[in-house]
Amino acid sequence: MLIWLAGFFILIVKLTVVLLVVLFIAAYLVWVERKFLARLQIRYGPNRAGTFGLLQPVADIVKMITKEDTVPEGADRTFFLIAPAVVAGTALLMFSVVPFGEPLSLLGHRVPLVVTDLNIGLLFVFALSSLGVYGVALGGWASNSKYGLLGGIRGAAQMISYELSLGLSLVPIVMMARSFSIVSIVEAQQRYPFILFQPLAFLIFVVSAMAESKRIPFDLPEAENELVAGYHTEYSGMRFGLFFLGEYVHMMVFGGILAVLFLGGWRGPFLPPVFWLLAKIFLVALFMIWVRGTLPRLRYDQLMTLGWKVLIPLSLINILVTGLVGLVSGFIH
């Protein structure tokens, strides 16, 4: 009983710490994105609220909380109200399977430095990222607005198509690590990170992840030039903020997943593991922002062509080749 209570207490502590850190970093990721994107476009970015605009996220949050929370006339009230929570909630939950260090031993007990070491962690991530589609599609549909509906439809179509290549690109990783558990996948990268063995899977995963988190070359569900703001056109105040938060947590989660699956997770010389994990997430985020500053939005048919005709066949070929090499070299029994 006492051990159970202690375990529960440790779980709550881990949950709180991870949640706070993720939310804090997501808020400052907005600042980083605005600042970095501005420098890429030879602007300054936010620099009024505090030194270097460091208080900008705080100001944004205060603004969004104090804004009126409107529900448009004719909207489906229930779905309209829960859709942002679905997006933000699934994005936050995804982080619970990302390990951020070697297991600690505390009073003779092994405490894994991850919120939950699920043996199907990878499938859990995919399940949640598919559930996130519901937030987008329902939010767009429930708004009773043509822009919202179009954005929601696009979001659903795009995320379902890219989910496939996202999942298929990781099958070789699972084959090499011989586990769905993210903790085991990180352990399997003890000597070399998987990016060295699976560069193609890495590329497919990066592209699909960017599409999945609706980042700029694939931001058709928002597409502000044609759809105002897409699926969150009708949202205001903190509900819009939740969509926004979900997007940035998504970006962070994909940085984290990319780090643990391809870049060796928390492994790295000299510095503490948490630092390495955060540094890798940060680098991935910077890369995503860099791409945002460079590429224009794809046309819708180009988006679908890239997903179905290029990425999915490529990832299937990658699975076959990995399996073949595995059989020949003997890492698959």
Partner 1 sequence: MMESVLEAVGALFSGLWTVFIHLFRRPITEQYPEYKRPLPPRARGRIILTRDPDGGERCVACYLCSAVCPVNCISMEGAERPDGRRFAAWFRINFARCILCGFCEEACPTSAIQLTTDYEFCKKDILSFVYEKEDLLVGHQGKDPDYNFYRYAGVTTSYGGKGEHIGERKPVDVKSNMP
Q: Estimate the share of the chain in helix, then strand, then coil, as percent rounded to the nearest 5.
A: 70, 0, 25
Is there binding between residue 111 and partner 1 (CB under 8 A)?
Answer: no
Is the CB of 33 or the CB of 234 nearer to partner 1? 33
Is there binding between residue 291 and partner 1 (CB under 8 A)?
Answer: yes
Is the CB of 39 or the CB of 77 nearer to partner 1? 39
Distances (CA, A) of 251 to 147, 195, 254: 24, 19, 5
Q: How far is the CB of 40 from partner 1 (least distance, A)?
A: 5
Distance of CA 279 to the CA centre of its chain: 16
103-132 CB burial, b ≥16 within 10 A, e <16: eeeeeeeebebbbebbeebbebbbebbbbb
Q: How far is the CB of 89 from partner 1 (least distance, A)?
A: 34
Is the CB of 217 or the CB of 241 nearer to partner 1? 217
Report which of 140, 142, 146 is spatially closest to residue 221, judged by C-alpha positions: 140
Is there binding between residue 290 and partner 1 (CB under 8 A)?
Answer: yes
Say how many CA atoms lie within 13 Å of 122 toward its Cβ.
24
Distance of CA 303 to the CA centre of its chain: 19
Is the CB of 44 or the CB of 192 nearer to partner 1? 44
Residue numbers 292-321 binding partner 1 by CB under 8 A:
293-295
Stretch that binds partner 1, among 49-57, 91-99, 138-146, 289-297 (CB under 8 A): 289-297
Alpha-carbon torsion 226, 29, 259, 232, what sign?
Answer: negative
Compose the 26-65 pattern: x for residues touching partner 1 by CB under 8 A, - for all others: ------------xxxxxxx--x------------------
Is the CB of 47 or the CB of 130 nearer to partner 1? 47
Site residues, partner 1 (CB under 8 A): 38-44, 47, 290-291, 293-295
